[in-house]
């Protein structure tokens, strides 16, 4: 669940970083001349490249998720009983949400996890962990699958990509505006622009990207409530509540045991204080309470 968001953000960061390096190597700076910075041209340029970076990340999202998570895509003609059952569950839920059948896959993980991603409704994938198949009963699994199908139906990945594109644009704009303002004017010939100047811009981009992720994560938490409500409609409210309660019990069990930091970072939890601003999911207690209240 959280992995989908983190993979998208990581891909986006790498794309934006690559774009910046390529532009620097090619010397593409149409907003900068001997007179100084044309801020309108800089903003337009950053909007184009920022949105392009987010769209590339979106286009790569399904491929990156399959590769990074080691997802084994289930052949629709499989004779494996467990695979057939999973395909049938997803097909039924997709039909209820009026969606074309997405790809379905399984990845190895002892934790209860699932994600849905893809650039369009017609090119999406729903993947679940082996731990989910082993630990969850039929109703709980239906709730999780309905949640992921709802993400596809709501177009959440596209909306997140558009939001990320705007964030990218402002990150690139602010980093360059501040970086160029700190550049040394070289007599009457213009501005000096060496490796040090670009390293400064890269450092500013990293800082602003972290700050921008607060906005993206806030949207991610907002859309989780909508996906919960969507699962309640197509799978059943009691199934979505049961799935969240099962996640809560699993999380409490993991908290009671020593857990490697790499695993803790991926857990859906109620992060304290400032760290909560970077959480991709709301607290499970709040999600359960909303569903129980009928919200």
Q: State the catalytic residues.
A: 148
Task: Quote the CA–CA distance of 112 and 143 in Å, as a whole number.
Answer: 13
Q: How many other β-carbons are positioned within 10 Å of the β-carbon of residue 106?
A: 21
Q: How many other β-carbons are positioned within 10 Å of the β-carbon of residue 171?
A: 26
φ, ψ for residue 188, nearest 5 deg: -100, 5
Task: Quote the CA–CA distance of 4 and 209 in Å, as a whole number.
Answer: 18
Q: Is 37 helix (H, G, I), strand (E, B) or coil?
A: strand
Q: Which tokens in the block code for residue 121?
A: 């409704």
* Rg of the chain, C-alpha, whole Å: 22
Hey, CA dihedral for 196, 200, 206, 212, is it positive or negative? negative
Task: Quote the CA–CA distance of 264 and 275 in Å, as a whole number.
Answer: 13
DSSP character string of 95-154: HHTT-PPPEEEEE--SS--EEEEEEETTEEEEEEEHHHHHH--HHHHHHHHHHHHHHHHT
The 3-state secondary structure of 217-231, one letter per residue = HHHHHHHHHHHHHHH
Q: How many other β-carbons are positioned within 10 Å of the β-carbon of residue 151?
A: 25
Burial of 264 (0-12, 13-18, 19+ CB in 10 A): exposed
């Amino acid at each position: 669940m959280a992995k989908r968001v983190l993979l998208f953000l990581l891909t986006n960061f790498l794309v934006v970083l690559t774009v910046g390096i390529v532009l620097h190597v090619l010397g593409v700076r149409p907003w900068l001349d001997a007179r100084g910075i044309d801020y309108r041209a800089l903003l337009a340029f950053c909007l184009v490249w920022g949105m392009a970076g987010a769209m590339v990340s979106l286009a790569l999202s399904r491929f990156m998720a399959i590769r990074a998570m080691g997802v084994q895509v289930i052949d629709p003609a499989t004779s494996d009983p467990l695979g057939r059952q999973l395909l049938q569950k997803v097909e039924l839920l997709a039909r209820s949400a009026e969606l074309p059948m997405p790809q379905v896959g399984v990845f190895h993980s002892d934790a209860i996890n699932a994600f849905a991603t893809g650039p369009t409704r017609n090119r999406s994938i729903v993947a679940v962990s082996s731990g989910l198949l082993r630990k969850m009963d039929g109703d709980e699994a239906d709730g999780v699958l309905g949640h992921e199908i709802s993400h596809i139906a709501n177009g959440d990945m596209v909306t997140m990509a558009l939001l990320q594109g705007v964030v990218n644009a402002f990150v690139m704009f602010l980093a360059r505006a501040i970086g160029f303002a700190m550049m040394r004017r070289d007599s009457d010939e213009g501005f000096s622009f060496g490796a040090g100047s670009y390293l400064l811009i890269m450092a500013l981009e990293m800082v602003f990207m972290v700050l921008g992720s607060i906005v993206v994560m806030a949207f991610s938490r907002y859309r989780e409530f909508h996906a919960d409500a969507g699962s309640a409609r197509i799978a059943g409210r009691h199934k979505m509540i049961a799935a969240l309660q099962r996640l809560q019990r699993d999380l409490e069990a993991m908290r009671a045991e020593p857990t490697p930091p790499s695993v803790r970072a991926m857990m859906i939890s109620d992060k304290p204080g400032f760290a909560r601003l970077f959480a991709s999911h709301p607290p499970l207690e709040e999600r359960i309470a909303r569903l129980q209240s009928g919200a």
